[in-house]
């Protein structure tokens, strides 16, 4: 397939070209097992995949791509409300990884012992490869439609920036339902021809044991590695450590560099744009900076009044991006789509940044307090607030991202409750509805929420208090 060039042969193979949570898989075996999935999925409107960190997930995803059917990864821990939304909104007709129908969607069994050679027509490059669900400030997650072409353009740009080749062994243990772990972390290996070790969970010990050359992690992972000296030192044998999905704190950058001998690469992106800015394997790695736009991507900084912001390394503006890696839009959400695009076709990231005279980008924060990044997961405050308000005892709720040394931000809920409900009960209530990482880490029961004259909750005041 055009997207997954390493599956076309010519890159060599090995019985463990891929190792997912301890299970070895050759590329030939992957292609055969994915062929069996593709034969069943061909013609479906969309293929949802319960994206557990295991080989079956990779087989199902590749099967969907081979068949030219949009793949919709579903977080395996998604509660019934979130899962039903993703299945319904995406129009998925099949669910790989399920044993029985879920919300009326038929299960598609994935069996690694079953292989089939299929000759399906090559999906056109503008066809959707994925519909990836991502949180907004309010409402349920929106499905971002990403084409084969956008994914290929991004992976090629990253391969160039990071000198990523078939000689590499990529190691990570990130979830397989987001851009970071799935698009970069699996398809990247299947396009560049590098080997892949998925560690199941991204623990420092597993990273140290894996003996790879190229490592991916979110800042929480790197912070845990840096705090585990023997594991950090073991990474000295690697070639490149890459951080992304949230800001990498400068002390973590420095500690990692001191212990492993590698200054980490930091890169920036979004589900909607894929990875657009990065430092380079052959360039400066400046702590606190995400570097330069990758090949084909252009960026600009825009002030609140819509005028360009100077590249002086200090003036802040909204970061806007354009280029071949952008998504095609939000599924079934024309209005949301219009909000994130400018009249001249640029994408509004909602991130606030500076650009230095030499072009280096620094992400300063998000324009909205209602988008929380916890452990690299994006969480919309509104979605968690709505889940809390579904509880009969809850009269009102406000959710914020409080600074947290391990997670970057931690989800904290301020709740006005009528009855005798405890914080733990409310946390469990949210976990039953949404993915587990959306659970509040802390619930603070309050008599009322601070509001301004317009009735809007003063979240900054909640954070200060």
Contact footprint for ligand AMP (CB under 6 A): 134, 179, 244-247, 266-271, 290, 349, 351, 363, 366, 373, 378
Selected from 220, 243, 276, 354, the binder of ligand MCA by CB under 6 A is 220
Nearer to ligand MCA, 90 or 374 (CB): 374
The span of 22-30, 82-90, 176-184, 391-399 binding ligand MCA (CB under 6 A) equals 176-184
CA 360 to chain centre: 23
What are the Cα distances from residue 306, in Å, to 301, 319, 342, 356?
9, 12, 10, 20
The span of 96-104, 114-122, 339-347, 375-383 binding ligand MCA (CB under 6 A) equals 375-383
Q: In degrees to the nearest 10, what's the CA dihedral of 182, 291, 324, 303? A: 120
Which partner in ligand AMP, ligand MCA, none is near 441 (CB below 5 to 8 A by kind)? ligand MCA
Cα–Cα distance for residue pair 162/280, rounded to 1 Å: 6
To ligand MCA, the closest distance from the beta carbon of 451 in angstroms equals 26
Which partner in ligand MCA, ligand AMP, none is near 174 (CB below 5 to 8 A by kind)? ligand MCA
Question: In the stretch 236-265, what mask flags binding to ligand MCA with x, by CB under 6 A?
Answer: --------xx--------------------
Q: List 292's β-bridge partners, or say none.
A: 278
Nearest alpha carbon to residue 38 among 106, 126, 118: 118
Cα–Cα distance for residue pair 41/393, rounded to 1 Å: 44
The yes or no reply on residue 441 touching ligand MCA (CB under 6 A) is: yes
Q: Which residue has the tokens 């919709």?
A: 72
Burial class (CB in 10 A: 0-12, 13-18, 19+), 460: exposed
Nearer to ligand MCA, 41 or 182 (CB): 182
Selected from 221, 265, 297, 353, the binder of ligand MCA by CB under 6 A is 221
To ligand AMP, the closest distance from the beta carbon of 246 in angstroms equals 5
Six-digit token pair at 377? 């997961």
Cα–Cα distance for residue pair 190/27, rounded to 1 Å: 8
Six-digit token pair at 389? 């308000």
Selected from 52, 142, 180, 195, the binder of ligand MCA by CB under 6 A is 180
The yes or no reply on residue 174 touching ligand MCA (CB under 6 A) is: yes
To ligand AMP, the closest distance from the beta carbon of 347 in angstroms equals 11
Contact call for residues 66 and 38 (beta carbons, < 8 A): yes
Selected from 70, 75, 136, 181, the binder of ligand MCA by CB under 6 A is 181
Which partner in ligand MCA, ligand AMP, none is near 354 (CB below 5 to 8 A by kind)? none
To ligand MCA, the closest distance from the beta carbon of 436 in angstroms equals 5
Question: In the stretch 408-427, what mask flags binding to ligand MCA with x, by CB under 6 A?
Answer: -------------------x
Q: Give the CA count within 13 Å in the CB-facing half-sphere of 208.
A: 18
Selected from 73, 188, 375, 401, the binder of ligand MCA by CB under 6 A is 375
Six-digit token pair at 432? 């039953």
Q: Which residue is nearest to ligand MCA (CB)?
A: 375
To ligand MCA, the closest distance from the beta carbon of 406 in angstroms equals 7
Checking DSSP bridges between strand 265-270 and strand 240-243, what pairing results, if any?
parallel
Contact call for residues 464 and 434 (beta carbons, < 8 A): no
Selected from 270, 277, 321, 412, the binder of ligand MCA by CB under 6 A is 270
Starting at the edge strand found earlier in the chain, the sheet holding 361-366 runs 298-302, 317-322, 347-355, 361-366
Cα–Cα distance for residue pair 49/71, rounded to 1 Å: 7
Which partner in ligand AMP, ligand MCA, none is near 363 (CB below 5 to 8 A by kind)? ligand AMP
Other beta carbons less than 10 A from residue 213's beta carbon:
17
Checking DSSP bridges between strand 298-302 and strand 317-322, what pairing results, if any?
antiparallel
Residues at the contact surface with ligand MCA, assessed by CB under 6 A: 174-175, 178-181, 202, 218, 220-221, 244-245, 269-271, 375-377, 427, 436-437, 439-441
């Amino acid at each position: 397939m055009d997207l997954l060039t390493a599956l076309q042969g010519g890159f060599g193979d090995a019985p463990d070209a891929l190792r997912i949570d301890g299970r070895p898989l050759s590329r030939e075996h992957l292609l055969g097992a994915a062929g069996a999935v593709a034969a069943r999925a061909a013609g479906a409107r969309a293929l949802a995949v319960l994206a557990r960190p295991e080989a079956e997930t990779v087989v199902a995803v590749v099967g969907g791509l081979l068949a030219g059917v949009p793949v919709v990864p579903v977080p395996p821990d998604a509660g019934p409300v979130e899962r039903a939304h993703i299945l319904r909104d995406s129009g998925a007709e099949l669910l790989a990884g399920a044993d029985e129908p879920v919300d009326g969607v038929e299960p598609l069994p994935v069996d690694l012992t079953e292989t089939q050679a299929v000759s399906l027509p090559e999906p056109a490059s503008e066809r959707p490869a994925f519909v990836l669900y991502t949180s907004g400030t309010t409402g349920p997650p929106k499905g971002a439609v990403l084409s084969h072409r956008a994914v290929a353009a991004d992976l090629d740009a990253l391969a160039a920036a990071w000198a990523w080749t078939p000689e590499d062994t990529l190691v990570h243990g990130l979830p397989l339902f987001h851009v970071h772990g799935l698009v970069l972390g699996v398809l990247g290996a299947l396009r560049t021809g590098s080997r892949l070790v998925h560690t199941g969970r991204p623990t420092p010990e597993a990273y140290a044991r894996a003996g790879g050359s190229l490592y991916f992690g979110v800042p929480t992972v790197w912070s845990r590695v840096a705090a585990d000296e023997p594991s950090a030192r073991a990474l000295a044998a690697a070639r490149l450590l890459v951080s992304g999905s949230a800001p990498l704190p400068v002390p973590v950058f420095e500690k990692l560099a001191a212990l492993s001998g590698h200054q980490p690469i930091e890169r920036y992106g979004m589900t909607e744009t894929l990875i657009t800015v990065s430092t380079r394997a052959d360039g400066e790695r400046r702590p606190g900076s995400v570097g330069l736009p990758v090949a084909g991507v252009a960026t600009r900084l825009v002030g609140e009044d819509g005028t360009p912001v100077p590249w002086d390394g200090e003036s802040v503006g909204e970061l806007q991006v354009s280029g071949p890696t952008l998504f095609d839009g939000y599924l079934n959400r024309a209005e949301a789509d219009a909000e994130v695009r400018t009249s001249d076709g640029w994408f509004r990231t909602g991130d606030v940044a500076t650009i230095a005279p030499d072009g280096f980008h620094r992400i300063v924060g998000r324009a909205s307090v209602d988008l929380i990044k916890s452990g690299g997961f994006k969480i919309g405050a509104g979605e968690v607030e709505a889940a809390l308000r579904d509880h009969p005892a809850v009269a009102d709720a406000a959710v914020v991202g409080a600074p947290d040394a391990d997670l970057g931000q931690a989800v904290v809920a301020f709740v006005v409750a009528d009855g005798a409900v405890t914080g733990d009960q409310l946390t469990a209530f949210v976990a039953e509805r949404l993915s587990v990482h959306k659970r509040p880490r802390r619930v603070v029961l309050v008599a009322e929420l601070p509001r301004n004259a317009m009735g809007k909750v003063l979240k900054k005041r909640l954070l200060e208090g």
